Amino acid sequence: MSEIKENLLRVMERIEKAARKVGRDPNEIKLVAVSKTVEAARIKEAIGAGVSILGENYIQEAQKKIEEIGRLVSWHFIGHLQSNKVKYAIRLFDMIHSLDSIPLAEELNRRAEQANQAIKVMIEVNLSKEAAKFGADEERVLSLARRIQNLNHLFLEGLMTMPPYFDSPEMSRPYYIALRALKERMVKERIPMKDLSMGMSNDFEIAIEEGATYVRVGTAIFGPRK
């Protein structure tokens, strides 16, 4: 068996075990295989082994790979999106995990409308102000979500966060609890959303215990990045 396939099976086992531990159905959790810096041949190997959602961080890098690999799999954008790249993002991706400002939302909507399509988005929340460069501050999430609700070409699916890096995965837990609480608050404010994109190679079990519906896993599938 190839190394990527072995890694993938191990990740899927870990997802299942974490879900069962807290009484969740493992099928509620979708795996985004994060393929930044990974070449197309190895991505194809992962697809052959069963990966169906790929996560990319950089538009130009993703564009080449998506042209080569195609759209039978779903491509999600998880990096920082610049407004001058929005028109490409609309064409390339089924979901943007990292929407973090009203101007960016408006630009996405404008370009989606021009392209006569709609795109799924999540709001990236910055829960660790000093450590994270990107993401909307918690206080601004509600107004951003309300704005997105009024943009006809965007579907607001949920919230995403990326805690600072800790050696101990347990240290991420407060961030994941906070993201889930914020989602519950949105739902009470009549902003329906279902997804929580949280958890990476080193801490996705904790994220699943706290309600993740998407985990974004790179290293544990593809090995260390160069």
Under the rule (CB under 6 A), what is the footprint of ligand PLP? Answer: 34, 36, 57, 78, 162, 200-202, 216-220
Residue 197: CB minimum distance to ligand PLP, A: 8
Residue 218: CB minimum distance to ligand PLP, A: 3
Between CA 165 and CA 26 the distance in angstroms is 25
Between CA 49 and CA 37 the distance in angstroms is 19
Identify which of residues 66 and 222 has a Cβ nearer to ligand PLP in the complex.
222
Give me the residue whose beta carbon is nearest to ligand PLP: 218
Identify which of residues 151 and 214 has a Cβ nearer to ligand PLP in the complex.
214
Other CB atoms within 10 A of residue 30 CB: 17
Residue 68: CB minimum distance to ligand PLP, A: 21
Identify which of residues 107 and 203 has a Cβ nearer to ligand PLP in the complex.
203
Identify which of residues 36 and 110 has a Cβ nearer to ligand PLP in the complex.
36
For 23-52, give the secondary structure using H, E and C: CCCHHHCEEEEECCCCCHHHHHHHHHCCCC
Residue 1: CB minimum distance to ligand PLP, A: 21
Torsion sign (Cα): 200, 14, 52, 27: negative
- Three-state secondary-structure class, residue 91: helix
